[in-house]
Amino acid sequence: MTVIKVAILGFGTVGEGVYRTIESHADDLEAVLGKKVEVAAILIKNKQRERNIRKNILVTTNFEDILNLPKLDIVIEAIVNKEPTYTFLQKAIERGCHIITANKEMFAHHGKQLIELAEQNNVSVGFEATVAGGIPVIQTLKQLLKINRVQQIQGILNGTSNFILTEMREKKWSFAEALLQAQENGYAEADPTNDVEGFDAFYKTMILSRLAFGEEPNWQDVEREGITSITSELIDAAEKLGLRFKHIASISNERGQIQVSVKPALVGKENPFYHVEGVENAVSVHSDIVGRITLQGPGAGMFPTASAVIEDLVYVCLNTQKDRSFKVEDTAVSDQQRSCKEELWFVHAQSNYFQSLPSNLIEQTFKQTYIIRATKREVEGLANQDKEISYFPIVGEYQTANEDKVLTAQ
């Protein structure tokens, strides 16, 4: 019987999870693929570290050893940083291997080039693990894109930020206290910038935008904001109004224009994101035939991420069809259009400034927090007059705290 030979680049959380899953699910893989899947080699950086790897597997720090294997079908990449990863994967494709990656930062930067190179070399690229860990969002989108037209994708894509916001609300902790807990639990790195400033969610959002709409906006034009400005006071005021803070990535295609933001927003009880807590991720896809689908699950971790990689392994072995995505003619985001649409805003002010606002703007108040209906330009205008004002959009339907009104945000 022929064998599918695999190399795994990296033996950290993801790489080891993939290795163990290939071992534990060997019979299932053979049953589905009609061939045995065999790990031929593993690339690591530190040769001194003890690892539980079978003796007949090549363990090396030199990628050329992997390229020189007599037979190699798939290269699975689970290392960090853009380089040397991108170079390794280019070489793997040129050698005729399918590639599968979990590395969102690298794939957000170089995914387009890798997919083009793979097409030229008649191999496939799997990237399910780059977005929302174990949630099969990439395959779901590929399935939907066959006929449905995707109009909007929203997601809670960073488990660390969601954990911090949940802990701040439930335990009445400060941002610093919740971050420390995230670090102690191993969810946040010693340098948490990528997570709490929204870069990690931003990379995932660019990958989704490219898949769903065939293009991504100029990175500089995307509103990207992390969760560091959210205080316990804001979280408490939101709760009193029946709202929860979530860090939400949003991509929509409005009449051919892609609009993308990655920032904190508020959701009411009716929104499926309201109940997404702790390190969980969720993705909500709105498309023309099916309507809204929401997927929720573990966004990271050894086996959830390995699950995404293994599903990709099956996909690249079995699938030879070209995937469709929508081409968008003009991807420039019109600031003017965006600023003229009325939305619901959660606005917090230290002063009594808002008492002088026209009453038609104000929907709800709680102490110094106001829910107002206004355009982005109007809210920015208010904030310019008072530097202590902070404002966040409310996403989806919101039932007001006294439950006498249901407001539709956007």
Ligand X SMILES: NC(=O)c1ccc[n+]([C@@H]2O[C@H](COP(=O)([O-])OP(=O)(O)OC[C@H]3O[C@@H](n4cnc5c(N)ncnc54)[C@H](OP(=O)(O)O)[C@@H]3O)[C@@H](O)[C@H]2O)c1
Contacting positions for ligand X (CB under 6 A): 10-15, 43-46, 49, 78-80, 84, 102-104, 129, 133, 300-301, 305
Reduced to 3 states (helix: H, G, I; strand: E, B; else coil), residue 68 is: coil
Tokens of 266: 């508020």
Q: CB 140 → ligand X: shortest distance, Å?
A: 17
Q: CB 21 → ligand X: shortest distance, Å?
A: 13
Query: Which of 104, 204, 246, 263 does the annotation list as catalytic?
Result: 204
Q: Which is nearer to ligand X, 77 or 167 (CB)?
A: 77
Q: Which is nearer to ligand X, 88 or 398 (CB)?
A: 88
Longest CA span, the chain:
79
Q: Which is nearer to ligand X, 79 or 227 (CB)?
A: 79
Q: Which residues pair with 287 in a beta bridge?
A: 150, 291
Active site residue 47: no
What does the buried/exposed string (b/e) look like for 321-347 if buried means 16 or more CB atoms within 10 Å of the residue's CB? eeeebeebeebebeeeebeeeebbbbb
What is the Cα–Cα distance from 225 to 250, expressed in whole angstroms?
A: 12
What is the Cα–Cα distance from 262 to 247, expressed in whole angstroms?
A: 7
Q: What is the DSSP string of 98-162?
A: EEEE--HHHHHHHHHHHHHHHHHTT--EE-GGGSSTTS-HHHHHHHHTTT--EEEEEEE--HHHH
Q: CB 82 → ligand X: shortest distance, Å?
A: 10
Q: Which is nearer to ligand X, 54 or 172 (CB)?
A: 54
Calculate the CA 293 to chain-centre distance. 16
Q: CB 16 → ligand X: shortest distance, Å?
A: 8
Q: What is the dihedral of CA 92, 96, 98, 102, to 10 degrees?
A: 10
Q: Which is nearer to ligand X, 200 or 343 (CB)?
A: 200
Phi-psi domain of 250 (left: phi exceeds 0; alpha: psi -120 through 50; beta: other): beta
What is the Cα–Cα distance from 204 to 220, expressed in whole angstroms?
A: 16
242 CB-near residues (< 8 Å, 6+ apart): 268, 269, 398, 399, 400, 401, 403
Q: Which is nearer to ligand X, 8 or 141 (CB)?
A: 8
Q: Which residues are catalytic?
A: 204
